[in-house]
Amino acid sequence: MKIIDLTHTISNTIPVYPGTEGPNLSISNTYEEDGFKETLLKMFSHTGTHMDAPHHIFPKGISLDKKDASGFVGKACVIDATDVPEGGMIDISYIERNKERVERAEFILFRTGWEKYWGQDAYFGEYPVISKEVARYLVEHNKKGIGLDNIGLDPISDTALTLHHIILEKETMVIIENLCNLDLIGEEDFLLAALPLKFENSDGAPIRAVAIL
């Protein structure tokens, strides 16, 4: 069995969505004074590699703490979309070319290659996004979730969060953003475990995502 970590490390300097305050990790107890170390974590719920719940968009949508834990683990595949240019769209042809793999999977992860800009201003640029048709396909085929190696499902310019609305409206799916190391997986099927921090009424939460091959 091989485990691949798909998670960025949270730090005080981690990239965050424009307009969001970065995390603050401060030492509250020290070995010298207290005999142990403890860290105070202050951060927004959509920090780092994280998961969006329907409650993120819809006031009455289900929150992550109320979802069954089975919704965070399942068969997955990675779709290579690294040939999509900056500002381009991942259309339904990417699903059609990988139809058998997509049909077997419960989580569809799109590798855009945008991870290469992690830590740079370019990371907040015109990253590739899926089309509305792809979003509707995933919902209609009862997938558990979608994941990407960039900072958002929607373009930063889309303040209406159009794709979020499509994916999360039926409450059957979750969205995973800021994944990494998708290039280490290849085309084989694998088990994805993406477990969010469990807190009350969570609209989203940091996760530790791993691929189990």
Q: How many CB atoms within 10 Å of residue 82?
A: 14
Amino acid identity, position 116: K
How confident is residue 196, by pLDDT bands cut at 50, 70 and 90? very high
pLDDT (mean) for 98-103: 98
Residue 38 inside a domain? The answer is no
Nearest to 47 by CA among 210, 211, 208, 212: 208
How confident is residue 121, by pLDDT bands cut at 50, 70 and 90? very high
Residue 162 inside a domain? The answer is yes
H or E element that contains 152? none
pTM beyond 0.75, yes or no? yes
Residue 12 inside a domain? The answer is no
pLDDT (mean) for 194-201: 98
pLDDT (mean) for 188-210: 98
Contacts of 114 (CB under 8 A, 6+ apart): 123, 127, 128, 148, 149, 150
Residue 97 inside a domain? The answer is yes
How confident is residue 106, by pLDDT bands cut at 50, 70 and 90? very high
Q: How many CB atoms within 10 Å of residue 183?
A: 15
Domain count, the chain: 1
Q: Which domain holds residue 203?
A: 3-7+45-212
| Confidence (pLDDT) at 162 | 98
Average pLDDT, the chain: 98
CATH number of the structural domain spanning residue 117: 3.50.30.50
Residue 100 inside a domain? The answer is yes
Residue 30 inside a domain? The answer is no
pLDDT (mean) for 123-127: 97
pLDDT > 90 fraction of the chain, expressed in percent and rounded: 99
| Confidence (pLDDT) at 63 | 99
Residue 17 inside a domain? The answer is no
How confident is residue 180, by pLDDT bands cut at 50, 70 and 90? very high
pLDDT in tens, 57-78: 999 999 999 999 999 999 999 9
pLDDT (mean) for 19-26: 96
Amino acid identity, position 60: K
pLDDT > 70 fraction of the chain, expressed in percent and rounded: 100
Residue 20 inside a domain? The answer is no
